[in-house]
């Protein structure tokens, strides 16, 4: 299906905001939009205020905002709009919600010998609020939520043995994903590995953790992603440095520091690897729904599990828009 053309330039979107009587949250992409819309719907039902979903529009830069220069990421579009209206009166009806990525983390080993989170929360600057961790997916890195979700969304009969194995290696998976993400970022190779990698091919299950098959992965980068020999040497060195640093870092920091997309894909592939270990047969008959839909279902599950216990998890969003949850 052909994508629709975004309808507003940043300037036109600012005019639209100025003339709108609604409150708006501008996000980068479709999964962020789905996440916040689902959260608002859930809370509106919980507090019996259906009007909440009518008061707030969640807009996606991916589908709404054109770049005036023809370039620029969705995140850059959101930041440009937020910064240009920060001093306008109508900005009180608007917030931007963007990926934190590595902002306010000490992560570059040439500048620090300790990986640290210098703002363990939702950072706010003017009308911009950043995700708690690297990106949206990091919210989902909860052991019970991920393992239970995968357990009920597979076609394999009696998956509990594989699920129990997955629970044992969960933290190790996040540690490995974080190591890979930082090494690739430092080597400027993220675009080569952000999607389409069968991570299970590089996972070896050991007692209660995983062993990442570094040399096999480097061969994959050479053969399948056309990474040069010099870059292979660089990322190998970076990986070896980061794995030492990360093994000295608390899980609470690592789960938020990990590259969100890589971490989510790595978890799903590790779960499949656990099946392979348990059933000892061809896994081609394991059926999975499409990735985007699977992420949306996991978001639904996460929201119900988290917000049923902590309605104030995203309190800053509601405070900035002057919305009451009472």
User: Rg (Cα) of the chain, in Å, rounded?
Assistant: 21
pLDDT range class, residue 2, cuts 50, 70, 90: very low
Question: What's the mean pLDDT when you consider all of the chain?
Answer: 91
What does the pLDDT read at residue 306? 87
Task: Count the neighbouring beta carbons within 10 Å of the beta carbon of residue 269.
Answer: 19
- As a whole number of angstroms, the distance between CA 324 and CA 242 comes to 43
Q: Are 116 and 253 within 8 A, CB to CB?
A: yes
What does the pLDDT read at residue 277? 85
What does the pLDDT read at residue 1? 41
What does the pLDDT read at residue 98? 97
What does the pLDDT read at residue 76? 94
- Whether 71 has a pLDDT exceeding 90, the answer reads no
What does the pLDDT read at residue 280? 73
The residue-averaged pLDDT of 270-298 equals 78
Give backbone dihedrals phi and psi of 89, rounded to 5 degrees, phi first. -65, -35
pLDDT range class, residue 314, cuts 50, 70, 90: confident
Sheet strands (E) in the chain: 23-27, 56-60, 94-98, 105-106, 116-117, 124-125, 128-130, 203-205, 210-212
pTM as predicted: 0.92
- As a whole number of angstroms, the distance between CA 126 and CA 319 comes to 13
- Whether 70 has a pLDDT exceeding 90, the answer reads no
Structural tokens at position 283: 């896994």
- As a whole number of angstroms, the distance between CA 233 and CA 216 comes to 14
The angle that helices 10-19 and 74-85 make with each other, rounded to 10 degrees, is: 50
The predicted-structure confidence for 245-262, as pLDDT tens digits, reads as follows: 999 999 999 999 999 999
Percent of the chain with pLDDT over 90: 71
b (16+ CB within 10 A) / e for 106-134: bbebeeeeebebeeeebbeeebbbbbbbb
The residue-averaged pLDDT of 30-54 equals 91
């Amino acid at each position: 299906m052909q994508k629709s053309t975004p309808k507003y330039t940043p300037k036109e979107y600012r005019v639209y905001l100025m003339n709108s009587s609604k409150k708006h949250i501008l996000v980068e992409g479709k999964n962020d939009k789905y996440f916040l819309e689902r959260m608002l719907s859930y809370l509106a039902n919980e507090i019996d205020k259906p009007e909440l979903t009518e008061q707030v529009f969640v807009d996606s830069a991916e589908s709404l905002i054109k770049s005036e220069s023809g370039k620029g990421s969705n995140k850059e579009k959101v930041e440009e709009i937020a910064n240009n209206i920060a001093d306008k009166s109508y900005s009180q009806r608007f917030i931007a919600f963007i990926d934190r990525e590595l902002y306010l983390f000490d992560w570059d080993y040439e500048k620090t010998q300790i990986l640290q989170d210098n703002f363990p929360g939702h950072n706010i600057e003017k009308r911009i609020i950043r995700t708690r961790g690297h990106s949206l997916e990091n919210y989902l890195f909860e052991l019970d939520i991920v393992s239970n979700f995968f357990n009920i969304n597979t076609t394999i009969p009696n998956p509990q043995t594989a699920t129990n194995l997955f629970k044992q290696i969960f933290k190790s998976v996040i540690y490995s994903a974080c190591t890979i993400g930082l090494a690739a970022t430092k080597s400027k190779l993220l675009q080569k590995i952000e999607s389409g990698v069968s991570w299970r091919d590089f996972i070896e299950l050991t007692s209660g953790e995983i062993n990442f098959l570094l040399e096999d992965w480097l061969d994959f980068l050479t053969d399948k992603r056309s990474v040069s020999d010099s870059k292979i040497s660089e990322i190998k060195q970076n990986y070896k440095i980061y794995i030492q640093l990360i093994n000295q870092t608390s899980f609470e920091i690592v789960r938020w520091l990990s590259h969100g997309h890589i971490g989510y894909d790595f978890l799903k592939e590790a779960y499949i690897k656990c099946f392979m270990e348990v059933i000892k047969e061809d896994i081609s008959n394991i059926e999975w729904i499409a990735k985007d839909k699977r992420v949306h279902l996991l978001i639904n599950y996460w929201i119900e599990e988290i917000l049923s216990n902590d309605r104030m998890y995203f309190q800053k969003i509601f405070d900035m828009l002057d919305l009451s949850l009472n």
